[in-house]
Structure 1
Amino acid sequence: MTQLRTVQVLGGGSAGSSSHVRSLASGLVARGVRVTVCAPAELDRLYDYLGAGAHFVPLPRLGDPATVTALRNACIGADVVHAHGLQASVRATLALSAPSCGTACGGLGSGASGSGVPGSGGGRTLLVTTWHSRNHLGGARGGVQRLLERSTVRAASVVLGTSSELVDRARRRGARDARLAPVTVPAGRGPVCLHDGKARAELGAVDRPLLMAVGALERGRGYGTLLDAARSWRDLDPQPLLVIAGEGRERAALQRRITAERLAVRLIGRRDDVAELLAAADVAVLPSRREARSLLAQEALRLGVPLVATAVGGVPELVGDAAELVPYGDAAALAGAVRGLLEDAERRMDLAAAGRVQAGTWPTEDETVAHVLSVYDELAGRR
């Protein structure tokens, strides 16, 4: 039997999609699948796709015409190309649909993935896309996003969505075959020290409650609302410390506000030990406007850390009754939910236990890989 070959494509690469591809690469290689990962070079430095046994092809930055050419060449001979996210889906659709690539490389909307790239055994290369999250863009940018979504889902043989909301959205955009495919946060490479006093000491929260938020410092992440909530915790004794791990374009603006308002908030940048820091927290906070299958929510529940999150996107489906949910943008509700947990140790214990139970209902890494491979095998049988 011919060895299956897949190409995994990443665009900008969020933490969720990048770690998922790393997990997929490792699991697929272990099952005898040949895997190539095509992504910006910095993602291999962060996620070590080569270490997972995959071949790695660095892609030029977005907008460089050479990107499509490089991706097209990498896809020659592949059975399935799997694009993660909208940027990657656009690149893959262009690469697979164009008879030849250069500065003008075909176009979107052909609806026939693989028409220009020969696959293994003379068959055509098929396209799978995964929607990991949903962007909320307005105006002209929102119109462009909808156009790209329609074009890429129609080019894909199968669209996988990490939440039911994303599956429904893909179907509305015209997907021929859209399926739910939950993505589980990969397990850490080592044991996590729960209630680690060292982590609390490093963060400056030895004798005060520690609140933890994690994510890119970008608009739509809800950090402005979170800082509004932090203002209302000043009367608590001891006053909690809010720590936010992540980098992004909004960091300078957030820091200016933290300094001006003298908020008990620390921005600590990107960290590789998020699980350890999260395990040391009293409460995890997820204030985002958009989430599908949040890594922070998964990690918090798995570690038994009480979670306060916005009831958006796939979050309610993910956490069930194992978290406190509040409306997006409602600083009073967010502040009140956190305050309530800090003042109620029994409720925190109940949520910690419920979180671990809920996490036990999610698919394992192995089950996630097996599900994706079953999709590949199904498509390979159609070629």
Structure 2
Amino acid sequence: MRVLLVLGTSAGGVGRHVHGLTSGLVAQGHSVVVACPQEVEDRFGFTGTRARHVALAVTDRPHPLRDLRALSTLGDLLRHADVVHAHGLRAGALSCLAATGSQVPIVVTLHNAAPGGGLTGRVYAVLERVVARRATLVLGVSADLVERMAELGARVGGLAVIPGPPPPQQAVDASAVRSGLDVAPGQVLAVVVARLAPQKGLHLLLDAIGRARDLPLLVVVAGDGPQREELQQRIDSEDLPVRLLGHRGDVPALCAAADLVVSSAVWEGQPINLQEALHAGAAVVATDVGGSAAVLGGAAVLVPGGDAQALADGIRLLVTDPEERARRQELSRQRARELPTEADAVAAALGVYADVTFVDRPAAGAP
């Protein structure tokens, strides 16, 4: 099968997922072309899997000239593909538009919720309608995304299979990790893995920690992003026991050394960081948003999204009750054994491709 994979700007989960698909498809003898920005190829190295890369300038925001060039490039690539699998709303909409008049099936996986409000929200609402009306099949990383596209009239295929990274093969020296973080004797270590951006709800996290400042707690946040300065200013001004670590390459080790892992996200799809926490056997407290509950499968303490007091109470429970913390750690290890693998993701994708290449496809409608 000749598969064209399309994605835009990615620095994390989407790129890793597409790399896993690319590697698995090529290993099974399929011909794969990955169309994406050059910097995404540089980061993830799709050509290292023996796939072919074609530079495609697809960014998070519309750009008339670049988008016209992208449509032209995709139109050329479509003529040599049996199926197109686009990842993300922008990449999906451009692929659908480029396929106007073509019989090549377009599969779109949505990895994030579309922004709402303002001009950006209106633009993305148009892109949603384009994908809903023109894509052959739409997948989502969480049930709310699937429901949204079904409401817009899309033919939906349910949840996409997004595996997390495999568990570490070597045992982690948790005491060495904790020593490197200057965790004091008797202190409980909470690890947060998040980009410092609004979606991750880090101001909510600080609200919760402020309400739990009587606990013997140290919170470390692994990740970087545009909110770093404002978060650090607030940590300093409120004297919160929170440390911003910046980007870390040892997230599995941090999770393994943690007493608990916390997610304060406003929305998540199938969060990689929580899958890493499960593989590490960490007790987890998380906001019940997007696809988090589906990933965690009952292992975590789930609290309502946007509720700082509930998040503080969940943290307090695991800090003050070692037996409950140990029970949650065992539940995490059990759940980790149920998580999908890269092989599962490739098998699921091939099943979708087989389905869409043999369905009767209506003529493309107007957006």
Give the equivalent residue in structure 1 for 2:74: 71
Structure 1: any 5+ residue segments left out of the alignment? 98-114, 117-123
Give the equivalent residue in structure 1 for 2:229: 252
Give the equivalent residue in structure 1 for 2:245: 268
Q: Offset at 1:139?
A: 4.1
TM-score (norm: length of structure 1): 0.86
Give the equivalent residue in structure 1 for 2:155: 176
Instruction: Give yes or no for contact 2:164–2:340 (8 Å, CA) kept in 1.
Output: no
The whole-number CA distance in structure 2 between the counterparts of 1:46 and 1:192 is 25
C-alpha deviations, 1:52-107, integer Å up to 9, x for none? 2322223225322433333333333011111111121122223323xxxxxxxxxx
The whole-number CA distance in structure 1 between the counterparts of 2:290 and 2:43 is 27
1:163 and 2:166 are equivalent in the alignment: no
* Higher deviation after alignment, 367-376 or 33-42: 33-42
Instruction: Give yes or no for contact 1:192–1:275 (8 Å, CA) kept in 2.
Output: no
Amino acid at match of 2:179: A
Q: 1:8 aligns with which of 5, 9, 34?
A: 5
Q: Offset at 1:230?
A: 2.0
Q: Offset at 1:136?
A: 4.5
Instruction: Give yes or no for contact 2:90–2:127 (8 Å, CA) kept in 1.
Output: no
Amino acid at match of 2:227: E
Amino acid at match of 1:94: L
Structure ranking higher on relative contact order (CA contacts 8 Å, 6+ apart): 2
Instruction: Give yes or no for contact 1:167–1:179 (8 Å, CA) kept in 2.
Output: yes
1:199 and 2:199 are equivalent in the alignment: no
Aligned length: 353
| 1:47–1:198 CA distance, 2 compared to 1 (3 A) | farther
Give the equivalent residue in structure 2 for 1:152: 131
Amino acid at match of 1:182: V
Q: CA RMSD in A?
A: 2.1
C-alpha deviations, 1:181-230, integer Å up to 9, x for none? 33121325x52533522322232225332211112211132100101122
| 1:349–1:49 CA distance, 2 compared to 1 (3 A) | same
**Counterpart secondary structure, 2:20:** helix
| 1:67–1:198 CA distance, 2 compared to 1 (3 A) | farther
The whole-number CA distance in structure 2 between the counterparts of 1:40 and 1:151 is 22
The whole-number CA distance in structure 1 between the counterparts of 2:195 and 2:99 is 31
Give the equivalent residue in structure 2 for 1:55: 52
Q: 1:343 aligns with which of 313, 320, 327?
A: 320
Identity, % of aligned positions: 39
The whole-number CA distance in structure 1 between the counterparts of 2:266 and 2:115 is 8
The whole-number CA distance in structure 2 between the counterparts of 1:37 and 1:328 is 36
Structure 2: any 5+ residue segments left out of the alignment? 361-367
**Counterpart secondary structure, 1:267:** strand
Q: 1:290 aligns with which of 249, 267, 275?
A: 267
The whole-number CA distance in structure 2 between the counterparts of 1:54 and 1:269 is 33
Q: 2:332 aligns with which of 349, 355, 359?
A: 355
The whole-number CA distance in structure 2 between the counterparts of 1:206 and 1:95 is 58
Give the equivalent residue in structure 1 for 2:106: 127
Q: Offset at 1:266?
A: 1.9
